[in-house]
Structure formats: structure tokens, C-alpha cells
Chain A
Amino acid sequence: MTTTIPAPRTSYTPPKRRRVNWEKWGWLYMRVSGLFLVVLIFGHLFVNLVAGNGVRAIDFAFVAGKWADPFWVVWDTLLLWLALIHGANGMRTITNDYAHNPLLRRLILLAILASTVVLLVLGTLVIYTFDPCPANAVAGSLPDFCPVK
């Protein structure tokens, strides 16, 4: 004797799959970038606030000195990109959790995206085009460590 049992509850249709699973990669990114950020953030804080003369060492010359060294240029670029995208993705998660109104949610997500892109572009621009002693500066406006022309 044979009985055929129909597949139980086959009504579930899997959700439409997007090419990239943002939810999974976002989750993974938070953890991987978090690992890097521990080193980058605490290294940054230690060098700026504790090492040498401590917090009193920070001035224009200190920043100029750091960015004259490719090591700190790479460090700060990594910190900028990893932390900003990490923070933005975190804000995206919180928005998805709490913004019920679909229109409001879209607006907030767009605002987060826009501000992140602007900050990334501006930050990267500053790190790579920073010149403490520009050639065509007004006389007297330059810090005293610049070579006198």
C-alpha cells in the first residue's frame, strides 16, 4: 500500500534575493572593521594624547609633522574610512530598527549616505592635499617652521 503525503506547508515563497546580501556583509563588516578600529583608535589616541608631551603637544605643527610621514597618512586614511563606514552602517542598522514610516526611513538613510560620502571625500582630500606651507600664501600667515622665502 502506498500513501502519498503532499509536501507540508509549501506556501512559503523565499524573499526576492538581491545580488549582494547587504545584511550579511554589513554584519561581518562591523566585526572585522571593529577589530581594526581597536588598534587604529587606541593607537591614534595614545600617540596624540599620551606619548611625548601628551595633550600639550597638539598644535598645527604637530599635525603637519604627522602628515609629513606616509605611515600616519596611511593610518589616518584607514581610520577615516573604516570608522566612518562603520559608524554609518551602525546608524543604518539603528534606522532600520526604529524608523517605522517608510518615507522617513528612506530620508534618514539617504541623509546618512550623503553625509558619509561628503565626509569621506573631504577627509581624504585633506589628508592627501595637506600642505602646511603653501607657495602662494599671504606673507606672515604661515607657521614659523616653514622655510623663509
Chain B
Amino acid sequence: MSTATLEGTSSAAPEVPSFTVTLIVRRYDPDVDAEPYWQDFDLQMYGTDRVLDALHKIKWEVDGSLSFRRSCAHGVCGSDAMRINGRNRLACKTLLKDLDISKPIYVEAIKGLPLEKDLIVNMDPFFESFKAVQPFLIASSKPDKERLQSVAQRERFDDTTKCILCAACTSSCPVFWTDGQYFGPAAIVNAHRFIFDSRDEGAQVRLDILNDKEGVWRCRTTFNCTDACPRGIEVTKAISEVKQAILKGNPNKVDIVLG
């Protein structure tokens, strides 16, 4: 018995194009390997597949020892940030057909954080920087109802609320690669989210923290972070607004930088 279809339309979906693609994955097993090495995989994939599907295919059908993080697999949880052809991307949001599949696709762990195994890095230093900027609402009042905010006040920090802490930005930053002390773009983005929130009273604390030797002044505006962000956050712009807030001593005096 066939499923119900609209009159006159075919029940068969148009065939999805299929192709062979070579994935070159940077492998590392600390128990066996002294150094990471590159390993090739030739895979039969479809036009609807993402890099994550290719990694799944390797793990489930070719080599079960391949290790990587992924949870929701739909660009929300921020687990599967990796370097794909030299750029930080979420594997679950990168379609194979959008890459140049006539050439091999290079996949490796994000840079600047300690490598643990294959595509997995130790995220602790990243989350330490995140914690250090006090990423929670600081308010002295204890209202009986919700704290009110105008549409414009909410809009002021809307962009930086989108962060999913995938570390794609921070681990794309050349200053972070060479100087692990730097707070990094993600921590600054999450500080921005509260510094420019009208309900928050801890702006000065966070500005003081980021006015540090390893704070916002290390940013060299290379825009790698903005390019890497899978949520399209204008990271470099957010950092420059924090710089301005420090210089002017007050986030309310910062002109909105035109994007």
C-alpha cells in the first residue's frame, strides 16, 4: 500500500546527488601516538550530508575509534566546533556540497586548547575565562515581578545573547593560540551580553576585569572570530564596544558601532 500523496505529484522524491569525497582527519591517540598524524578516508556521501555525517560514517562504518564531540547535531549545543579546511566551523552546520569536494577536506581539532584525542580538546581553560567575566545577572534589587526593559534596551545586547560557547571564535584567534592567558573573544562576548544589559549592575566589575593585561587590549582586530562564529555574532564589533566602554568609563556612553 502506498502512502497518500497529492493528486498528480510523484511519490518519489527527486534523487539526491551522490559523490565520493576524501576526508583527511587529524588523528591522535595519546596512549599510542607520540604526535598527531593525518589519516585519509574515501567516503560515498550525499548532497544533503554535512561534515558531521561524514564523521559519523567513518565512526560507524569504517573506524570506531575515531573520537569527536557532538550532542544535538543541529547547531544549538556547540559541541562539534572543529577546523574544517583551516577554518573553525561546526561540523553539523557545514554541508559537504558547500566545500570544494573535488579536493580532500581537512578536518582537525580546534587550535590553542590542549589536544586530548582526535578531534577532542580540553575545554577547561576556555570555560575558566568564561567564568572569570562573571557571566550572570548582577542586580541588587529584589523585585516582585520581572525586571522591565524596553525593546531598545533589549536590542542593545541581542547579538551577544546568541553565543553557544562552542569555542570556535576563541580558538580561531591568533593571540589566543600564542598567548593562552588572553581571555579570548567568547569570554568578552559573554561579558558584553551583561555589560550592555540595562538590568545589570556589575558592568564596572566586568570592565575592570577586561581592562587587564590579558583583557580586551590584546585584541588585534583580525576578524577571525567574526568569521568563525556559527551564530553570526559580530564578535569583533562586540569587543570594540567593550574597549570603548572601558575608555569612556561607562557602557551607556558608547556609540553603537555601525556594523
Give the chain A neighbours of B209 by CB distance below 8 A.
12, 14
Contact with A along B211-248 (1 / 0, CB 8 A): 11101011000000000000000000000000100110
Give the chain A neighbours of B208 by CB distance below 8 A.
14
Q: Which of B5-13, B78-86, B128-136 forms contacts with chain A?
A: B128-136
Give the chain A neighbours of B131 by CB distance below 8 A.
9, 12
Does B158 lie at the interface of the complex (its beta carbon under 8 Å from any beta carbon of A)? no
Does B178 lie at the interface of the complex (its beta carbon under 8 Å from any beta carbon of A)? yes
A14 vs B136: C-alpha distance in the bound complex, in angstroms? 17
Q: Which of A23-31, A48-56, A123-131 forms contacts with chain B?
A: A23-31
Say yes or no: B179 contacts A24, CB within 8 Å.
Answer: no
Give the chain B neighbours of A26 by CB distance below 8 A.
217
Give the chain A neighbours of B211 by CB distance below 8 A.
21, 23-24
Give the chain A neighbours of B179 by CB distance below 8 A.
96-97
Does B175 lie at the interface of the complex (its beta carbon under 8 Å from any beta carbon of A)? yes
Does A70 lie at the interface of the complex (its beta carbon under 8 Å from any beta carbon of B)? no
* Cβ contact of B175, chosen from A8, A27, A97, cutoff 8 A: A97
Q: How large is the interface on B (under 10, 10 to 19, 20 to 34, 35 or more residues)?
A: 10 to 19
A34 vs B213: C-alpha distance in the bound complex, in angstroms? 22
The listed residue with most A CB atoms (<10 A of its CB), out of B134, B215, B217, B218, is B217
Does A98 lie at the interface of the complex (its beta carbon under 8 Å from any beta carbon of B)? yes
Contact with A along B151-193 (1 / 0, CB 8 A): 0000000000000000000000011001100000000000000
A81 vs B209: C-alpha distance in the bound complex, in angstroms? 32
Give the chain B neighbours of A96 by CB distance below 8 A.
179
Does A140 lie at the interface of the complex (its beta carbon under 8 Å from any beta carbon of B)? no
Say yes or no: A23 contacts B136, CB within 8 Å.
Answer: no
Does A15 lie at the interface of the complex (its beta carbon under 8 Å from any beta carbon of B)? yes
A26 vs B211: C-alpha distance in the bound complex, in angstroms? 12
A97-B175, A97-B179 are known contacts. Are A28 and B247 too (CB-CB below 8 A)? yes
A21-B211, A24-B246, A98-B178 are known contacts. Are A12 and B132 too (CB-CB below 8 A)? yes
Q: Please give the distance in Å from B173's CB to the nearest CB on chain A.
A: 11
Contact with B along A7-22 (1 / 0, CB 8 A): 0110010110000011
Give the chain A neighbours of B132 by CB distance below 8 A.
12
* Cβ contact of B136, chosen from A8, A12, A24, A27, cutoff 8 A: A8
Say yes or no: A9 contacts B217, CB within 8 Å.
Answer: no
Give the chain B neighbours of A15 by CB distance below 8 A.
212-213
Give the chain A neighbours of B246 by CB distance below 8 A.
24
**Interface of A toward B, CB cutoff 8 Å:** 8-9, 12, 14-15, 21-24, 26-28, 96-98, 100
**Interface of B toward A, CB cutoff 8 Å:** 131-132, 134, 136, 174-175, 178-179, 208-209, 211-213, 215, 217-218, 243, 246-247
Show 27 A/B contacts (Cβ-Cβ < 8 Å), sorted by A: A9-B131, A9-B134, A9-B136, A12-B131, A12-B132, A12-B134, A12-B209, A21-B211, A22-B213, A23-B212, A23-B213, A23-B215, A23-B217, A24-B211, A24-B217, A24-B246, A26-B217, A27-B217, A27-B243, A28-B247, A96-B179, A97-B174, A97-B175, A97-B178, A97-B179, A98-B178, A100-B178
